[in-house]
Chains A and B, each alone.
Chain A
Amino acid sequence: MFLSNSSLMSVVLSQVRFKLNAYSGLVYSLIILQLIGLLFSTGWSSSGTSINNISINLNTSSIDSGFIFVSLLAISVGNLITTRAYRYDDFSFVATRLSSNIANSIVLLVFSCYVGITTYFSVYLMRIFFTFYSNNVFVEGPTILDDPMNSLLTVLAMIIFLWMFSSIGYIAGTLFQLHKLLFFGVIVIIVMLMMTGTWIRISETIFVENSSLLILTSKIIGITLLIFATSTAISNCLGVRT
């Protein structure tokens, strides 16, 4: 019998609040990586052709390079919060492995939301810079006001992808905590699977054969939840303070 009973939800919420404060220092890494992404995004893709002796070059700056960098950061952060130092923070609470895993997945989702939105808008930093300092001829491109629904969907897709990448880092970290050999064994199995036709077929079904970004996003949410559930199941095998 206890003087006060705390529900799973309240434990998770207090853990989330604590972890968000504890990991707030990651913003500096994020800012640096987004700036590096912006540098790489200038002329990210370039096309050139010639017609009637006139050469025409089209340089496209997109959010893809920035997204690659923050995706790697998401994997790294997902992995980082499974390390011993960060896991020991959970002992500040009367919590279970389940509440801890749920809190971690929520923290990673919040992190992905922040990173997704800032990465999308970081391109505007470059747009404004070029508007004032470049003499090149610019091509009309769709802006948020032209197509708000598509912009919203792109931000949503970025957030969900970042969440998926962080979950990959998270499961990798959990496996590594369980047993180093197990981690490398799973990596070898995944690499071998990737070389088979079945894996290519599965990847095509998930990532390529999508009529809209919304369908792709739904699939990714499913995969991410599955990864987190697997991580939770794996972490339950861990002993106390291992």
Chain B
Amino acid sequence: MSNTWMIVLIGLIPVVLAILIVLYITKKVKFKGSLRLNKLVITFYFCILIVFGVVYEILPKEPMLEKMSEEKLQKFQSENRIFEEKLLKQEESILNPKFLKEEWTHEISGKTLSLGYIGNDSYSTKVVVEWVDSNAQKIEGKVYRSHINVYGLKIEDKIPLHEVEWVGNELVIHEPSEQEFTFEQFSNELSLFQHTDTMEIRMVRGFTYIHLKVPKHMEIVDPLGLQMY
């Protein structure tokens, strides 16, 4: 039996199960109530569900997580793209200031600067080096993070920043510690028969950018390829 048929058969199991449940209930549930009782149940059930709907709508609820519109997500994507282009062109003065998270200076000894990463996803961080005319040993650094959005949820504040630490002459970037967030949402939409042509943005993948101003006489060792050109 081919894989396609196996998938079709496995997919049919819940359908068959649902049919069996429905058949069993329609055959077995033969509650012989009086017509008066049936009418009472029909009216009561209908009214109670409508009341539940109204009560939920007017009920004061805990603040919920905001969901962003498609337009807002497109704007985020565009801002991220422009930011990266400008950073690569080293047009620092026109970079979006809201992406700047921290800045520091560090003095190193010797002529070699190493870049290291601790974590699983080194692609989440990009290092941009700007060479400066200076004989000093001082390195200026700025950490930026562009917009992050998953499933349209406003959770940027919940995702911690990468930590940057100097260990001698090595700049070590630490990935945030593992965390898990679970969110619940309700939908009144009937998605089974709906088809939308518009491509929904599921994720705006932002990055952590480290902009370094390094004197020209120094050398950079980058075994993981964090540097972006």
Contacts and interface: CB of A to CB of B under 8 A. Distances in A.
Interface in A1-46: 21, 24-29, 31-33, 36, 43
Given A49-B150, A62-B187, 4 more contacts: A29-B29, A53-B119, A60-B184, A138-B61
Interface in B15-61: 18-19, 21-23, 25-26, 29-33, 35, 38-39, 41-42, 45-46, 49-50, 52-53, 55-57, 59, 61
Contact of B187 (A24, A28, A141): A141
- Interface range, A side: 35 or more
B41 A27 contact: yes
Contacts of A137: 64-65, 181-184
Interface of B: 18-19, 21-23, 25-26, 29-33, 35, 38-39, 41-42, 45-46, 49-50, 52-53, 55-57, 59, 61-62, 64-67, 119-121, 124, 148, 150-151, 153, 155, 158-160, 162, 175-195, 202-203, 205, 208
Given A27-B42, A36-B21, A60 B185 contact: yes
Contacts of B29: 28-29, 32
A218 interface: no
A134 B186 CA distance: 13
Nearest to A161: B193
Max chain B CB contacts within 10 Å: which of A32, A52, A80? A52
Contact of B185 (A58, A69, A80, A161): A58
B10 to A, nearest CB: 17
B188 A58 contact: no
A43 B186 CA distance: 9
A26 B41 CA distance: 11
Interface string A73-89: 10011001000000000
A100 B180 CA distance: 60
Contacts of A127: 56, 186
A183 interface: no
B64 A51 contact: no
A47 B49 contact: no
A207 B49 contact: no
A171 to B, nearest CB: 18
A138 B183 contact: yes
Contact of A154 (B33, B181, B189): B189
